[in-house]
Amino acid sequence: MAERLRYVGIAEETEYMQDPAPEAVVHLPFATFDINVTGDTVEEVPQGYDRVNEEVREAAYAVSGSIGYATDVNTIGYFLKWGLGGYALDSESMVHNFYGVNDYALPSFVARGGLDHTEMVYRGLVLDQISLSVDKKGRASFTGNVNGAKDEKAVLKNRDELITYTEKPIMFHEVKVEVDGKDVSAEIDSLSIDISNNTDMDGYGMNNRLPVYIEGGERATTFKHTLRFNNTKELEKFWGNSTGGGDKNGVKQFSVKYTLDRGVEGKVEIEIPRVYIQNPKHSVSNRDRAKQEINMKALPGDVTLSDSTKVRTDIYCRVENGVESY
């Protein structure tokens, strides 16, 4: 009996819908892989002969879905590059710099999903949203939501053909959280980072059922911290004072930094230069511990890359690892 194998291989396209599709540069042992044809790909032709339409025609074709896995310090770089658009390798220090750019055109890539007996190839993918979440006592989980052009099949890889890294997933005890330079890691129960590109799935032209481009819209970088409700510090940041809401000058801004440190394997630093609290929420149930949920959003600010270059962006990620280039 043939071996059943599940994997997802990824590779950047040199141009949108590169043909033939590139082979994967790395394979991931995914936790979830859910990419499918989306929308109304078949259109019924209206007619008045009968109460039921008799003809159908081929309509616009596209795919969408998500990839999720327990992330590590190596593979996360691919998704940061494709999701943010800005990438610079510091050749002296071998530090990878990723940052959000204003270009609407985002890098496209191919995902090759090993699904038991067939490899499904999804081409022209663009990251609509990337999410990183960590719960206390858990591992760092990454999800990439994608929109793309088409699907096709290929031959399933053998296990010894897969290109994999040996680096282990990042755990909660390897994550440090700083607010305005102060370490608040011990206060955090869970955190999530979401970067939404709001991609436009209307990139069609004539003489082709497939989209010829997928562009990003407004980028929204948001964060959520869940922590113990044992003081009013976060509420006071939101209020802008120590007594209550409604202050005319109540919007306070601060910086947030996350460090995911795997020691000798490398580390990921995520810096948000300007952040404000959108809304704080607190809840109590019976005798359970009171918690608060702090929802934040990033604003653009000036950051300095590892080679001293200055850029203006809402999020900057610095990655140190053994990867030569992304």
Cα separations in angstroms, 258 against 23, 157, 264:
33, 36, 18
HEC secondary structure over the chain: CCCCEEEEEEEECCCCCCCCCCCCCEEECCCEEEEEECCCCEEEECCCCCCCCCEEEECCCCEEEEEEEECCCCCHHHHHHHHHEEEEEECCCCEEEEEECCCCECCCEEEEEEEECEEEEEEEEEEEEEEEEEECCCEEEEEEEEEECEEEEECCCCHHHCCCCCCCCCEHHHEEEEECCEECHHHEEEEEEEEECCCECCCCCCCCCCCCCCECCCCEEEEEEEEECCCCHHHHHHHCCCCCCCCCCCCCCEEEEEEEECHHHCEEEEEEEEEEEEEEEEECCCCCCCEEEEEEEEECEEEECCCCCEEEECCEEEEECCCCCC
What pLDDT score was predicted for residue 2?
Answer: 56
Between CA 72 and CA 97 the distance in angstroms is 16
pLDDT for res 29: 85
pLDDT digits 0-9 by tens, 112-124: 999 999 999 999 9
The domain spans of the chain are 5-38+61-160+167-320
Q: Is 212 left (phi over 0), alpha (psi -120 to 50) or beta?
A: alpha
Which tokens in the block code for residue 45?
């032709």
HSE of 314, CA atoms in CB hemisphere, 13 A: 22
pLDDT digit string, tens, across residues 223-241: 999 999 888 889 888 888 8
**Which contacts (CB < 8 Å, 24+ apart) does range 86-93 have?**
86/311, 86/313, 87/326, 88/305, 88/307, 88/309, 89/325, 89/326, 90/305, 90/306, 90/307, 92/307, 93/306, 93/307
What percent of the chain lies above the pLDDT cut of 70? 99
Residue 280, both tokens = 């704080």
287 torsion bin: left (phi>0), alpha (psi -120 to 50), beta (else): alpha
Cα–Cα dist 123/259, whole Å: 33
Sites in the chain below the pLDDT cut of 50: 1
pLDDT at site 1: 45
pTM over 0.85: yes
CA dist 145 and 122 (Å) reads 13
User: 62 φ, ψ to 5°?
Assistant: -165, 165
